[in-house]
Structure 1
Amino acid sequence: GHKGYARLYSYPVVKEYKNLWNVPNLMLQKAPADNFVATIKLDFKPTTKYKGERTGLVVMGFSYAGLVLENTNDGIVLSQLECKNADKGTAEQINETTKLKNGAIYLRVEFKAGKKKLKESEGGSDVLAMCKFSYSLDGKKFKSMGNEFQAKEGMWIGTKVGTFCTRPAITINDGGWSEVDWFRITKK
């Protein structure tokens, strides 16, 4: 691997997989502010042995959304997807897809909170935060993708953002990986 990169090997999901809610190998952090941008630079290297390996950038809570790269019969496909009520076992819904030449990509989500409060909470008030997704092949020009998503809190704490790398329920230890160069939180 590349020195200084975090290599996430694809981890098999359970045979009964419905969505990312019960996947244990999500690398997430709590949303640090109401308004911020999270960007990840990664290189997806799926195995050629089987299809269905995935990696990406996800905004996780009771409902989630993200930009996901998947190894398919047509090559690597980038999708913007969402899963409403993930904790209840609902399936993911794909909002937009595009084919990629390879797995080297920058993925971004922009959190924007308005003044509207959803409810009072222990730490003050939960605000309505909307997320917009985009991607770039060069790190300079980002293209919007998919639908806006209303961030939702999770079981114990608020919304989280981060990455993952999974594969279908194939337990032979010969899967691919995602090499993460960096993950950054910025004001804009």
Structure 2
Amino acid sequence: MCTTHLAKAVRILDADRLPKAHTSQGPLPWFTTEGPKLYKRGGWYYVFAPSGSVKGGWQGVFRSRRIDGPYEGRNVMDQGDTPINGPHQGAWVDTPSGEDWFLHFSDTDSYGRRVFLQPMQWGADGWPIIGRRRGSQPYGAPVARNRKPNVASQPVTVPVTSDEFDNGYHRGWQWMANPMPDWVDPAVKGKLRLKAVSSPANLWEAGHLLTQKLPGMAFSVTTAVELKPGGQPGERAGLVAYGYDYAWIGLENTAAGQRLVQVTRLGADLGLSKGHVRQSHETVLVAPVEVRGPVHVRLSFSPVEVPDAAPDFPHYWHSMLHSTHAKVTFSYSLDGTTFQPFGPAFTTQPGRWVGTQVGLFAQAPGGTPSNTATRAGYGEFDYFRFSE
């Protein structure tokens, strides 16, 4: 027998009822106040919480002598005249040498939520100011470059991205859902063998995509893909740029044999990101080549600024009038040396609370009968390499 005891929840802070925040855009009401973190310093309880939306918000701090309030609040950092939008939703970090820092993100659309480290100071009045001080203002502005914290020397490291699949796949990869054991054949070394999993044609509804975050602003990613179908038309495998819209280049099995294709799907999330349901269809382009084995395929990314409609706020930062996405071009090679451009360029979209992802997949048609699924084929990828 299991007994659960639930303590009574107490609301200690309702930011929406507080006086307007003083920001570089003038007085603004508190809204979308979320992600709180509670600290205690010098006899004060501090709640650090972002407010004002993801891209158009600021970092709020609330304080009280009692944990249950009442709390007073203020803006301690906003975008100001910088290109770093919504500098908030992070954490206060202190060091053994007594320095204070603030770790936060900034939404960069298709490039995800980039992380920044800001200097932080405590004023004589017991309030923090984060980022670059702005004269006598009680709030700071974020900085893109700054001296490093005074901590022990550390080697310069970067996340692992490229993969030769010598011993499976490295830890920089992410599945789109909890993986099943048979999605990857662990007995294969030096290559990645992905099972052609039966799933809907819309990859937004498929959990068996193996993806990575975009590693930079401008780059190319290349792989060699070979499709070993189980005998049924419709199996496919490829290299995908994935988000609310997605596009991929790879191989598809048909009754007439394999073909090299570029596939684009706009509104893959069926409009759910915009609060309504709509139809979504694939656009398929077939390359004029004969597929006889592995094909090297490449996606090349470069950043583009896309204009956005003005938000329905009374005041906003001008950075909210555009989004940063990536223009993706496609190419292929039969010998791994000479690459041919293929198909139109594609403009990325982010995913749900994440940026665009790039990855690999193998797929069998949705609704494949169980007696056929046991004979499903696979996609085999020889390498996965990023380059500038």
In 1, Cα distance between the equivalents of 2:208 and 2:222?
19
Decide which moves more: 35-44 or 96-105.
Answer: 96-105
| Aligned counterpart for 2:259 among listed residues 57, 61, 77 | 77
Q: Note the alpha carbon deviations across 1:97-122, whole angstroms, 9 max, x for none.
A: 335332411110000114x365658x
Alignment of 1:150-165 (within 5 A): 150-165=347-362
Write the letter of the residue equivalent to 1:68: G
The equivalent residue for 1:4 is 190
The equivalent residue for 1:184 is 385
In 1, Cα distance between the equivalents of 2:344 and 2:358?
17
| Aligned counterpart for 2:292 among listed residues 102, 107, 125 | 102
Instruction: Give yes or no for contact 1:58–1:66 (8 Å, CA) kept in 2.
Output: yes
The equivalent residue for 1:43 is 226
1:42 Cα deviation from its structure 2 partner = 2.1
Decide which moves more: 125-134 or 54-63.
Answer: 125-134
- 1:34 aligned onto 2:224: no
In 2, Cα distance between the equivalents of 1:63 and 1:149?
9
More RCO (CA 8 Å, sep 6+): 1
Instruction: Give yes or no for contact 1:95–1:147 (8 Å, CA) kept in 2.
Output: no
Unaligned runs of 5+ in 2: 1-186, 271-278, 309-318
| Structure 1 residue ranges, 4+ long, deviating more than 3 angstroms after superposition | 95-99, 117-121
Q: Note the alpha carbon deviations across 1:121-178, whole angstroms, 9 max, x for none.
A: 8xxx842310000011111000111110001101120000111001012233111111
In 2, Cα distance between the equivalents of 1:22 and 1:2?
27
In 2, Cα distance between the equivalents of 1:160 and 1:130?
13
Write the letter of the residue equivalent to 1:179: E
Instruction: Give yes or no for contact 1:18–1:90 (8 Å, CA) kept in 2.
Output: no
Instruction: Give yes or no for contact 2:259–2:287 (8 Å, CA) kept in 1.
Output: yes
Larger Rg: 2
The equivalent residue for 2:11 is none
Q: Note the alpha carbon deviations across 1:41-64, whole angstroms, 9 max, x for none.
A: 12211122x111000011000000
Instruction: Give yes or no for contact 1:118–1:128 (8 Å, CA) kept in 2.
Output: no
| Aligned counterpart for 1:149 among listed residues 326, 346, 356 | 346
In 2, Cα distance between the equivalents of 1:31 and 1:148?
18
SS at match of 1:59: strand
CA 1:152 to 1:11, structure 2 compared with 1: closer, same or farther past 3 Å?
same
The equivalent residue for 1:21 is 204
TM-score normalised over the length of structure 1: 0.87
Alignment of 1:47-66 (within 5 A): 47-48=230-231, 50-66=232-248
Decide which moves more: 86-95 or 27-36.
Answer: 86-95
CA 1:94 to 1:144, structure 2 compared with 1: closer, same or farther past 3 Å?
same
In 2, Cα distance between the equivalents of 1:179 and 1:55?
8
TM-score normalised over the length of structure 2: 0.44
Unaligned runs of 5+ in 1: none
Decide which moves more: 125-134 or 64-73.
Answer: 125-134
Q: How many residue pairs are counted as aligned between the two chains?
A: 179
Instruction: Give yes or no for contact 1:75–1:99 (8 Å, CA) kept in 2.
Output: no
In 2, Cα distance between the equivalents of 1:145 and 1:47?
27
Instruction: Give yes or no for contact 2:260–2:291 (8 Å, CA) kept in 1.
Output: no
Instruction: Give yes or no for contact 2:264–2:283 (8 Å, CA) kept in 1.
Output: yes
Write the letter of the residue equivalent to 1:150: T
Decide which moves more: 66-75 or 1-10.
Answer: 1-10
